[in-house]
A = this chain, B = another copy of it.
Amino acid sequence: MIDAYFQTFEDYRQQNSFDGQPTALYAPVNYIMELGGKRLRPILALMGYELFKADYRPALPLAYAIEIFHNFSLVHDDVMDAAPLRRGQATVHTKWNLNAAILSGDVMLIYAYDYLLRLDAPNRIAEIVKVFNRVAREVCEGQQLDIDFETRSDVSIPEYLRMIELKTSVLIAGALEMAGLAAGASMDDVQHLYEFGRNVGIAFQLQDDILDTFGDAAEVGKQIGGDIVQNKKTYLILKALELADGPDRDALFELMNTPTTNVEAKIDQVKNILNHYNIRALTQRAKQEFQDQAFEHLGALSIPASNRVALESLAHNLLDRAY
């Protein structure tokens, strides 16, 4: 079922590829847009629109705007994180250079607004652009907090949750919010859509934290323990620091604030402490709370239950890592 949304979006994307001049500016844009991905955010926008309208295709420019914005943020984030690879391929700044990554990213951000303005929603377009502005700004703020947290050893759990909310959730939430606005939904329903997306996004990120440490490499598709090796203060670590006693806490603090030398040993040591305090289950419980919140908001929409099926199923698959 998701395949249809995916394919419709991909067709639209291909029909609207970046063939402008100069080529040096637009080649990196096409490159990153064609690197693939699940197209989660645009599909959510299409599904969100379809909750209120029989045909979701008028929401395609919105879906595309959101996906362009998401990819803009990846291009610039990859520079900031000095990441060589994205989806197994060279990042833009690696394949081209720093200037290409900066300038092509900039033009993508502008094109996101360009497609947003192609949405046929004359009475609400100003409101939709304002939501887009807020979301875009918050994504930048989340990225800055993530950078700030790298050099801080006193990050609290609420601060961490706020960071992942800004960096990950608000774009998912905003995609649904803008879709609802574009489809003419009531402001109550728009708010429920936003809260659904916000809670799904946080639950998804907590799931990601769990899998990075406790997942199966083959299933997750990447090396396990990357967050530990990079000293990332995820929910797991912060929760353990909150619960652990004297020597355990000191050991974990020391481990997570010292550059990694022996990868395997460090992962083992950290996981031992996490296991001792039952962190996996506690994080799972936190994830479940956000997930429950999400589905409560989805259920509160003033639409026939049958209209919710596609979105509900996508969210479940997403949170079970089946999509």
Name A residues whose Cβ lies closer than 8 Å to a Cβ of B: 20-22, 24-25, 76, 79-80, 98-99, 102-103, 105-107, 109-111, 113-114, 117, 122, 125-126, 129-130, 132-133, 136-137, 140-141, 143-145, 147-148
Contacts and interface: CB of A to CB of B under 8 A. Distances in A.
10 contacts: A22-B145, A80-B102, A103-B143, A103-B144, A107-B137, A110-B136, A111-B137, A114-B133, A114-B137, A129-B129
A126 B137 contact: no
Nearest to A101: B102
Contact of A79 (B24, B102, B130, B143): B102
Contact of A106 (B24, B25, B76, B132): B76
Given A80-B99, A109-B106, A109-B110, A147 B117 contact: no
A141 B21 contact: yes
A79 to B, nearest CB: 6
A140 B25 contact: yes
A141 B104 CA distance: 9
A109 to B, nearest CB: 6
Nearest to A136: B110
- By DSSP majority rule, is chain A's interface helix, strand, loop, or mixed? helix
Contact of A140 (B106, B125, B140): B106
A110 B106 CA distance: 10
Contacts of A106: 76, 105-106, 109, 140
A16 to B, nearest CB: 14
Contacts of A24: 144, 147-148
A122 B21 CA distance: 33
A126 B122 contact: yes
Nearest to A116: B129
A117 B129 contact: yes
Given A126-B117, A148-B24, A140 B76 contact: no
A130 B117 contact: yes
A145 B23 CA distance: 10
Contacts of A145: 22
A113 to B, nearest CB: 5
Q: Which of A113, A136, A141 has its CB near the most chain B CB atoms (within 10 A)?
A: A113
A50 to B, nearest CB: 24
A99 to B, nearest CB: 5
A281 B20 CA distance: 36
A21 B141 CA distance: 7
A192 B70 CA distance: 38
Contacts of A147: 24, 99, 103
A134 B103 CA distance: 15
Nearest to A102: B76
A117 B140 contact: no
A30 to B, nearest CB: 14
A129 B133 CA distance: 12
A105 B79 CA distance: 14
Nearest to A79: B102
A20 B145 CA distance: 13
Given A80-B99, A117-B130, A141 B22 contact: yes
